[in-house]
Amino acid sequence: MNQFTSGRGAPERNLSRRDFLARTSLALTGAALAGCATTAHAEPIIDIHQHVNYSDRPDPVLLSHQRTMGVTMTILLPAGRPMMRASTHNGDSNGLQAKAYGNEACLEFVRAHPQEFRFAANEVPDLDGAPAEIEKYLKLGAVMIAEQKFGVECDSPEMQRIYELAQAYRVPVLMHWQMGMYNHGFTRFHKMLAKYPRVNFIGHAQTWWANVDQSYRDAANNLYPKGPITPGGLTERYLADYPNMFGDLSAGSGLNALTRDPSFTPGFFQRHQDKLLYGSDCNDLVGTGEKCQGAETIAAVRRFAPTKPIERKLLHGNARKLLRL
């Protein structure tokens, strides 16, 4: 049973996450919807990776969470439509395996908060109508196709239809790389990078971040490796060798890669300062403290960036340029 802390500091037992979310939503609604002061930060931050209804988080809590982190612009990434098929692992991966809502919910949220949010477009890629569904929302203003998190081959005809659409609309494609689960074929993705040089791709998740390490082994079982990093892994080569390859710093996988070897990260930021973008991918309810992965990633960027200009690129400038915000 989860334990949460009440307003008086005493632990409340037998309080479900749903009850806690409802209570938190009521408590934060006024501040989230009325308080522009919470968004008045000295330096802007763009978060390229958030979700509506992430682990049942209510909309007002998401809004307050982003403001508390100091984020001034957030990109909402929708799920594809719920489907029972191999590419969604017979439904287990519906909602991006996180209860995330789809295109229309993200669009509605952005229309309610147009100064602080933008949205991406998404669909299960091996549906016959996937390109048309994604194109519908690109025409409505989606700034990228994301996140592609499905059990398909990265160079399949279905995925190449997605890349061709991204090329036509000049938007990036953000891909969740996870060995054995999502976007199969990471080691041969260089063929797609070469075939679609006008499409900007953004790498994310466990397999992407584990492969910063040239010494990385046991890709099937060791998704969150620890310890020293040898520079020059496949991820670094993709970033260095292909102008259209970028990296999303979000999630536990990104934070792990930034913090597991403090001697590695400043040089990594220096080498790829124009290729890395801050994202949170965080289902936390508060927006601060050690349990908030998004806030911890912002802190890591600030701690390890070798110069202030590089910090600003990672937290704001690169995303602004790539997404044409």
Give the number of domains in the chain: 1
Assigned domain for 8 exists: no
Q: What is the mean pLDDT of residues 156-182?
A: 98
- For residue 263, pLDDT over 80 is answered with yes
Q: Express as a percent the part of the chain with pLDDT over 90.
A: 86
pLDDT band at 41 (very low <50, low <70, confident <90, very high): low
Q: What is the CATH number of the domain that holds 168?
A: 3.20.20.140
Assigned domain for 10 exists: no
- The model's pLDDT over 205-254, given as tens digits with 9 standing for 90+, comes to 999 999 999 999 877 789 999 999 999 999 999 999 999 999 999 999 99
What's the rounded Cα separation, in Å, for the pair 34 and 45?
21
pLDDT for the residue numbered 218: 79
Mean per-residue pLDDT over the chain, rounded: 90
Assigned domain for 172 exists: yes
- The model's pLDDT over 142-164, given as tens digits with 9 standing for 90+, comes to 999 999 999 999 999 999 999 99
Assigned domain for 275 exists: yes
Assigned domain for 156 exists: yes
pLDDT for the residue numbered 40: 46
- For residue 81, pLDDT over 80 is answered with yes
Assigned domain for 24 exists: yes
Tell me which residue range forms the domain holding 25: 20-322
- The model's pLDDT over 6-25, given as tens digits with 9 standing for 90+, comes to 333 333 334 455 554 545 54
Residues in contact with 221: Cβ distance below 8 Å, sequence separation at least 6, in sequence order: none
Relative orientation angle of helices 17-34 and 59-69, to the nearest 10 degrees = 60
Assigned domain for 1 exists: no
Relative orientation angle of helices 130-139 and 157-169, to the nearest 10 degrees = 20
Q: Which residue has the tokens 């979700």?
A: 51
Assigned domain for 114 exists: yes
